[in-house]
A and B are shown apart, each in its own frame.
Chain A
Amino acid sequence: MFLTPETIAILILDCIFIVFAFFAFVISINIVKKWDLNSTSSLQYSLEKKAILAATIIKYIFVLKLPLFMFFVFTADKISGVITGAMCAAGVVNSVEFGLWLFVFKIINLFVFGFWIALHVKDMQDEKLSLTKLKFSIFLVAFLLLIIEIAYEISFFASLDVDKIVSCCGTLFSVASASSFSVIFMIPNNIIITIFYATFFLYLVSFFLKSELFFFFSNLVFFIVSIISLILFFCTYIYELPTHHCPFCFLQKEYHYVGYLLYVTLFIGTFSGISGSILSLLKPHHSKSYYKVSLFFNTLYTAIITAYPVVFYIKNGVWL
């Protein structure tokens, strides 16, 4: 077990999350099975109250998970000083086989929990509580996702080995690596850039068409393409090194923590797009303001990420 004050903090919070999420899980099962708003039984009455407890617990978990995600990256960065060969969080995450999965689940859960809360807010606006059954069914799945994430996290800290020599971002994110990434690295830069801006264009089209389903998919695709193009192309301009493809190093102080800005704008932009369009599909009278929020943040992200190569070209007169 790798115990530092940071990992202990994360583990304590994991324990709290498990216990409380379990309460919410039990409540959810009861609601999914027995919810009937027309009934005046004391059971229904107590379920209505418990639904509020479950929602409060889920809000609590989500509100903490947001900063905790960054804290996790920060911690992994710090641990990289102790693990031989690791220079940033990428090396630490990669030092354990399922490190990448832990990360994927963390991101999925942020989206799922965030969406759940958006759904809850929507639900509470209508006195028929027509989304209650749906939202607690979704939580049943979210709970399992959370448990998987926490299980991965605990075994991650348990299997971190100080004596093991790991390879870091330099080899991890390159053509030579044997990881699942390597295939993607075969794609030439100009195709990557074309795909990225084409996706953004597609996204803009979906914004003006105002079709929920189209908007949902364009956001989802934009998120995935953004992450891939960031690793493959754009981050080399942040590091000003053609061979450095790490999605973590620019979270560090040397790059003015710009990674946090990039990830947060991308998250808000695509999250509001994705969750907003699902809510609109569920409830046709949903306010359309999420379109604007999503457009603003996704455009901001695109602007910042575009600025890096452009500024580099202006300064140096060449591309990397």
Chain B
Amino acid sequence: MAETITARAMEKKKFADFTRAIVDNGYQLYGPAIEGREAIIAQIAEQADVSFDYRNFKMSPKDLFLSQSEVLCRFCRGEIVPDAAADDGRRVLLGIRPCDAKAISLMDKVFLQEPADSYYKRKRDNTVVISAVCSSPEDTCFCTSVGGSPASTEGSDILLTDLGESYLLEPVTPKGEDFLNRFSSLTRNASKNEVREKERIVEEAASRMQKMDLEGIAERFAKAFESDLWDTPSQRCLGCGICTYFCPTCHCFDVTDETLHENGRRLRTWDSCMYSLFTLHASGHNPRPSQRERTRQRFMHKFSYSVDNYGELFCVGCGRCIKHCPVNIDLREVIAP
């Protein structure tokens, strides 16, 4: 009942006013854009004609919280120098899919855990996440197998559903509630029919995905550590790391220094457990010497260690690793019971 009371609705013709109002209120607006034949998330202009008819963004929005490359500090002649004011701009992320929003909630567990990661936290605090219910999952999608749903609200502040004539806007967090209240003149109370229509869309989307029973996968993987389960994927794996770059929850990073004459900067950049250098000691010893150990590490981290440490699978079923793997390694075949 509570949902039907708090849910808002917006006529589609008012949506341009909404995006304009968001920008006028000083937010940077990130939303759907087309690049080539794919939808991406990018900063969009206020007048942009926004629609949510893509399946999912080519890349997850993880870069907006954990930048692919980011300056940790600057230095001169070996001593730290104050950085130019960090960009503290408030942002709205519009139209990410619930799987990617859930991935943000998983990243939170790592980066907001003490000691909190200052860079991540600042971006997270400054961002309102409006996710869009997924009505047309891809062949590679399996969110319902990993505890998600086409309308999962984890990691979202507001959940949006495209109902054809109108949008349903359901606040998820107090932050989302406050945000919607600021634009209350553009919305009205949602009708029961609109809420029912959303449920139908979600059910229909969920029914298109095959559901695997992954109950107990953490223990199953822990027991299979020395088994031949990893043989097939690791023999095929090229170690290119594309799965980790596309993955919305893979968050491993490297820290390196760059210098030019007397000035320099300390950077953090995405890294990948698929690379041999990732764990190579200065002594030459490598605790994960072959692709077998590295492939296993990625699966163990997502489906076993993360369950032990955070009580969560670190996979949201977005299927990007399956779609982009150059040797067609299908993660579902490895995790299937």
Pair from one complex: no
Q: Which residues of A contact B (CB under 8 A)?
A: none
Q: Which residues of B contact A (CB under 8 A)?
A: none
